[in-house]
Amino acid sequence: MEATVPDQPQQPKRLYRSRDDRVIGGVCGGLGRHFGIDPVIVRIAAVVLLLFGGASALAYLAFLLLVPEEPREGEPPPPGRGRSAATIVAIVALILIGGPLLLAAGLAVAGILLPLAVLVLTGLLVWWLVSGEAPGGGAGDIARRSALGVGVLLLCFAVFVGGAWAAGLGGGAVAAGIVIATGLVVAVSAFAGGLRVLILPALALAMGVGFISAADADLRGGVGQREYKPASASDLKDRYRLGVGQLVVDLRQAELPEGDTPLKMKVGVGNALLLVPRDVCVASTASIGMGGVDVFDRDNGGLDVEWEDLPSAPENGRRVVVDADVGMGAFEVQHERRDRWDGRHRFRDRDDDGTDVNEGCLRA
């Protein structure tokens, strides 16, 4: 009768650092072989974790110090005894001291590489949408497709700005013509595969036109900053206009007559600012496509803002009656050009209860 040999307990599978599949210390290669996954996946995960705080750098250091290198062919496996207490303490101390430094380095690398990674992935996605070529191939193919996708994005931005500018200069008829042409391009592209690359630029063109048309912004009148300081009522124009930028009408040195002085201000995109003396009452109406109004102590904002504030001037007083039209931006009426500071808090011209006032309308 044969004696049975009891089964030997199965030894746990040892984790080694790879000797032949390594970039630095063979940690990712060893992990991939141990868990039966492609080491490239482990390396990608390590890079991602490095970009988000440096956690993989700490783990890599620990593996590098604590995990033995795999034995060469024919060599016995390294003993499984633990390391000395002094070695463990030294490793932990190194990790604790180097952790904050690695964390700072990881955040710095993330600040540089993460936007670049997002740009590359966005370029690949855009090129996939416009060409139908799914991401793949070698590094050269990926770089080429990403660059082409970024180029399409830049083209779309230029078309968006150009369409918005054309609609703002040409009015409703030009805007309608551009939208119709864009619709035709999209319709033809749906049936002709070779024109698929035109779909995104066509949509960008329509969005630019629609954006300006929705705000009813008129871009005629120039670009930049225009500031007018009339010295008397005869120097004051009845209308001031600017396409894009800041329009400032400063009446603080103007000798205005008693009664009402009408004034119109029109800005396509930007800011319309009226500055008045403290002894002049201001009555205001405004139409804002997208933006806000700030008239002394009162303000309003949003889409399609219609503003009206029509106080009466004191007897024999002076009143400016301003009508503002801003497509996108803000209309402001103030006594001073900018908010002032007392060293700790910001304040403007205020009465005793802490509110801004239309001071000229209150004078007896």
- Answer yes or no: do 276 and 199 share one domain: no
The two three-digit tokens of residue 119, written as one number = 């740009």
Distance CA 326, CA 285 (A): 11
**The predicted structure's pLDDT at residue 339:** 47
Grouping H, G, I as helix, E, B as strand and the rest as coil, residue 86 is helix
Residue 4's alpha-carbon distances to 8, 62, 348, in angstroms, are: 12, 44, 98
Q: Which residue has the higher pLDDT, 343 or 171?
A: 171
Question: Strand order in 223-228's β-sheet?
Answer: 223-228, 239-250, 259-275, 318-334, 280-295, 298-309
- Answer yes or no: do 267 and 159 share one domain: no
- Answer yes or no: do 108 and 232 share one domain: no
Distance CA 293, CA 278 (A): 20
Alpha-carbon dihedral sign for residues 109, 114, 115, 119: positive
Mean pLDDT of 297-314: 86
Q: Which residue has the higher pLDDT, 16 or 352?
A: 16
- Answer yes or no: do 104 and 143 share one domain: no
**133 domain residue, yes or no:** no
Distance CA 96, CA 115 (A): 29
Q: Domain containing 241: what range?
A: 223-361
**The predicted structure's pLDDT at residue 330:** 92
Are 220 and 268 a contacting pair, CB within 8 Å? Answer: yes
**157 domain residue, yes or no:** yes
Mean pLDDT of 125-138: 73
Q: Which residue has the higher pLDDT, 110 or 1?
A: 110
Which residue, of 151, 184, 215, is where some domain finishes? 215
**22 domain residue, yes or no:** no
Residue 50 has pLDDT above 70, yes or no: no
**167 domain residue, yes or no:** yes
* Res. 347 pLDDT band, cuts 50 70 90: very low
- Answer yes or no: do 260 and 155 share one domain: no
| Model confidence pTM above 0.85 | no
What one-letter code names the amino acid at 159?
Answer: V
**The predicted structure's pLDDT at residue 6:** 53
**The predicted structure's pLDDT at residue 319:** 92
Mean pLDDT of 310-337: 89
- Answer yes or no: do 117 and 234 share one domain: no
**250 domain residue, yes or no:** yes
Q: Which residue has the higher pLDDT, 61 or 145?
A: 145
Give the total number of structural domains in the chain. Answer: 3
Residue 324 has pLDDT above 90, yes or no: yes
- Answer yes or no: do 88 and 150 share one domain: no
Which residue, of 215, 242, 270, is where some domain finishes? 215
Q: Which of 286, 276, 239 is nearest to 254 (CA)?
A: 276
